[in-house]
């Protein structure tokens, strides 16, 4: 059985094409499948449109969350309800082609893999967005303990064994590509060209992308906090050196009076301290979220 998980937020314009392309792709592979569309608190007609197709085809299931919990939480909800032996994660904007699912399953079987993800060899989005995403993947790969290939996102296939291990990871600050790579197992990828959206507008704005990037970096890397420590040690060394030089100058009577250098030093050190407090705050905030232990998502209703 195949389970296809698709999170959706305010995507009423694309539901019809999404239904046609996903069902056509899965029917070519196996008639034993389910498509779980997760409505992540949409405030347009997304839920109504999903229910129209659910009434036509009971394999097209609708998981309705009680509010907008975010993209990664919506994926987690769908994965939790999936019953298949092969589970696919796919965004609902159709930038990840459903036609690639067959190739992913064939690669999993032929190479005895547990996880297969789509690796984007080309993107058709705007230059600025492409540049930011490319730089993020490079930074994440270098700073974290996760050495996943660049240009991979949520689009992926897992078998049941891998999914069961994946669902044991219950942290609240979730970056799913990192968690998927963390669990190990035999992993591979297929390459594809990722087109731009041709219907509707992207829901992952720059602010959401930035927060997701912060979750990824702070969840999988201790380097930011190590940088604070290193700069602190360097600052102490230079402060002690400067204090020694000033003391010698005082003794020799060659000390230069004036407030400019003093004020600049205070402002500089104050800015550095604020930066470090911000980095510490990012870690503390994530610790606070974890200790609250609130559910990652809340299901309002599930239409099977």
- For residues 211 and 231, state if they share a domain: no
Residues 6+ apart with CB under 8 A from 15: 8, 46, 49, 50, 53
- For residues 163 and 44, state if they share a domain: yes
- For residues 180 and 137, state if they share a domain: yes
Which CATH number belongs to the domain containing residue 188 in this structure?
3.90.550.10
Is the distance from CB of 174 to CB of 186 less than 8 angstroms? no
CA 185 to chain centre: 20
- For residues 132 and 185, state if they share a domain: yes
- For residues 160 and 20, state if they share a domain: yes
- For residues 99 and 213, state if they share a domain: yes
CB-based burial, 162-197: b 16+ in 10 Å, e otherwise: bbebbeeeeebbbbbbbbbbbbeeebbbbebebeee
- For residues 233 and 147, state if they share a domain: no
Task: Tell me the longest C-alpha to C-alpha distance in the chain.
Answer: 92
What range defines the domain where residue 256 resides?
Answer: 223-292
pTM exceeds 0.85 for this model: no
Structure tokens at 290: 């974890």
- For residues 232 and 213, state if they share a domain: no
Is the distance from CB of 98 to CB of 90 less than 8 angstroms? yes
Helix or strand run (H / E) with residue 3: strand 2-8
pLDDT at 73: 87
- For residues 87 and 180, state if they share a domain: yes
- For residues 110 and 236, state if they share a domain: no
- For residues 132 and 53, state if they share a domain: yes
Q: What is the count of structural domains for the chain?
A: 2
pLDDT in tens, the chain (304 residues): 899 999 998 888 889 888 999 999 999 888 889 999 999 888 888 899 999 999 989 999 999 999 888 888 888 899 999 999 999 999 888 888 888 889 889 899 989 999 988 887 755 555 555 566 555 556 556 655 666 666 777 888 999 999 999 888 887 777 777 788 778 888 888 888 776 655 555 555 556 656 656 665 656 566 666 666 666 667 666 666 766 766 676 676 665 555 556 655 676 677 677 677 767 777 777 777 677 777 888 889 999 8
- For residues 92 and 43, state if they share a domain: yes
């Amino acid at each position: 059985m195949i389970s296809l998980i698709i999170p959706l937020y305010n995507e009423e314009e694309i539901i019809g094409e999404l239904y046609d392309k996903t069902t056509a792709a899965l029917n070519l592979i196996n008639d034993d499948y389910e498509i779980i569309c997760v409505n992540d608190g949409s405030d347009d007609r997304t839920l109504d449109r999903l229910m129209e197709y659910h009434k036509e085809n009971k394999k097209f299931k609708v998981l309705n969350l009680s509010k907008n919990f975010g993209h990664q939480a919506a994926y987690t909800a769908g994965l939790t309800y999936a019953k298949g032996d092969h589970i696919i994660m796919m965004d609902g904007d159709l930038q990840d082609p459903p036609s690639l699912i067959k190739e992913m399953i064939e690669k999993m079987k032929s190479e005895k893999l547990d996880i297969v993800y789509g690796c984007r060899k080309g993107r058709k989005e705007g230059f600025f967005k492409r540049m930011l995403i490319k730089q993020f993947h490079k930074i994440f790969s270098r700073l974290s303990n996760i050495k996943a290939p660049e240009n991979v996102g949520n689009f992926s296939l897992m078998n049941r064994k891998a999914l069961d291990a994946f669902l044991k990871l219950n942290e609240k600050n979730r970056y799913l590509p990192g968690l998927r790579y963390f669990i190990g197992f035999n992993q591979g990828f297929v390459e594809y060209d990722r087109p731009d959206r041709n219907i509707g507008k992207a829901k992952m704005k720059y602010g959401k992308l930035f927060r997701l990037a912060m979750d990824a970096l702070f969840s999988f890397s201790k380097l930011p906090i190590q940088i604070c420590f290193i700069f602190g040690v360097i600052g102490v060394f230079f402060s002690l050196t400067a204090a020694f030089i000033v003391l010698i100058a005082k003794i020799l009577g060659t000390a230069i009076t004036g407030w400019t250098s003093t004020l600049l030093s205070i402002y500089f050190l104050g800015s550095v301290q604020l930066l470090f407090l911000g980095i510490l705050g990012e870690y503390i905030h994530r610790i606070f979220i974890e200790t609250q232990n609130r559910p990652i998502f809340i299901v309002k209703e599930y239409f099977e």
